[in-house]
Structure 1
């Protein structure tokens, strides 16, 4: 306070108490009856202006870049490539079907014939080939219902079916495999497909052809329009089409050939499609 000196000592500076620095509502450690409050630092007007300016610049940069990309002139083309491949794997599916009065007899007879067919196929397969059962069913046979009859249908017998799938890498053996399987007791043929075991190299070759075709199309379009052809902006491909089976028989087809069965697999077409977008500089 003006005119008052602490402790009565002359020449000492006066002590001024600021209301924002002390408060008597709480007690703080080391200062009983008073709490010291720190002042928050004031933001510099220059720093605040710089921060706001940087935010404005960052916000404006996004729409500008997007607008630039959307206005870019482009040429979009679709290239298709196709390569012919000789199949290296045959998938042969045959079945043994037996019918008997009882389920036990049908399964027993089927097991005997299936064992004979399996052994005949194994004798003609190579080291890398295989044969396995893919489906086995046992179903009852019913008598035809008479008009006006009631109650459950009468079971007249049972049908057992054991379907086998053989994978053979030597295409030249397929004919003898067919003959051996049917001679041993197989009486149904489901399918005979010729495929390529590893398609990836052939798919890449087809993509290379598709890429060259797409480039040629884009160059022709650019020349016709009198513009240049810039860099590739986007490129995508669809899933390559699977080859169509070269030979397929219905599931109830019976073998009737008496001579050795001739088999000619032919070639498989592997195709790929490439979608490319070029920039016009």
Structure 2
């Protein structure tokens, strides 16, 4: 019973340490030592944190393009939207984009109204249809945006770059993180006048991908061609972090 209780206390404190550590630092597990001492144990521990980072070039891009139409007749607004969107879809496919990589992301019909001088004026029905396009060649982003614009697209909702398979980069970042945590632990132990014993706990931290890149400059009033849409994919930082708890003697 006592052994089970000690294990529960230790696990709770380890989870708290892994969640509570933010970035770039290292802590000694005084709380864990205190808990152990209160249970009659003399074990001492040392906790170190490490972060690894690998920069890679994105190999996939996502763009959202669409068509908006407005007419006082709801049916005509929808028909006009469909006709324009059919041309955009045909253009996207002619640029080599597979049908599986074109997905409807938003569609709505809503009544547009205006109130002036306490009078209600019905402007018409606005119909919007947006598709999310997956580009497996990031060099074609400018060409695709220009082609969609020429075909009738009049709404653009940003560009997102990513890496289709980031496992290799993440594993390399994790190796860096563990190496840095070990190095910090050794420095701390030396400064504290103790020796590292076995590795007691290894805890993987949560990570958020960080993107560094450029953006496309898109304006509806300009006549776009592939050269007028400056797009820079930049780099994607894949990070990994780890917390290691050692027993010391």
TM over 0.5: yes
1:237 Cα offset (Å): 1.6
Conserved? CA contact 1:193–1:245, under 8 Å = no
1:143 Cα offset (Å): 2.6
Moved more, 85-94 or 201-210: 201-210
Show the counterpart of 2:24: none
Deviations 1:19-57 (A, max 9, x none): xxxxxxxxxxxxxxxxxxxxxxxxxxxxxxxxxxxxxxx
Q: Which runs of 5+ in 2 are unaligned?
A: 8-35
Q: Which has the higher contact order (CA 8 A, sep 6+)?
A: 2
1:178 aligns with 2:145: yes
Moved more, 252-261 or 235-244: 252-261
1:199 aligns with 2:166: yes
Conserved? CA contact 2:60–2:137, under 8 Å = yes
Show the counterpart of 1:107: 78
1:273 Cα offset (Å): 1.4
TM-score, normalising length: structure 2: 0.78
Larger Rg: 1 or 2? 1
**For the residues of structure 2 that align with 1:235 and 1:164, how far apart are their CA atoms?**
43
1:92 aligns with 2:63: yes
Show the counterpart of 2:126: 159
Richer in strand (by share): 2
Q: Which runs of 5+ in 1 are unaligned?
A: 1-58
Conserved? CA contact 2:216–2:230, under 8 Å = no
Deviations 1:107-147 (A, max 9, x none): 11000010101111111135596112111011111131433
1:270 aligns with 2:238: yes
Show the counterpart of 2:104: 133
**For the residues of structure 1 that align with 2:99 and 2:40, how far apart are their CA atoms?**
54
Count, aligned residues: 218
**For the residues of structure 2 that align with 1:192 and 1:254, how far apart are their CA atoms?**
16
Conserved? CA contact 2:212–2:235, under 8 Å = no
Conserved? CA contact 2:173–2:238, under 8 Å = yes
Richer in helix (by share): 2
1:234 aligns with 2:205: no
Show the counterpart of 1:42: none
- Calculate the aligned-residue CA RMSD, in Å: 2.7
Over 3 Å counting, the alpha-carbon distance change for 1:205 and 1:61 in structure 2 is: closer
Alignment of 1:1-281 (within 5 A): 70-126=41-97, 130-147=101-118, 153-244=120-211, 246=213, 254=220, 256=222, 258-259=224-225, 260=227, 261-281=229-249
Show the counterpart of 2:32: none
**For the residues of structure 1 that align with 2:160 and 2:176, how far apart are their CA atoms?**
26
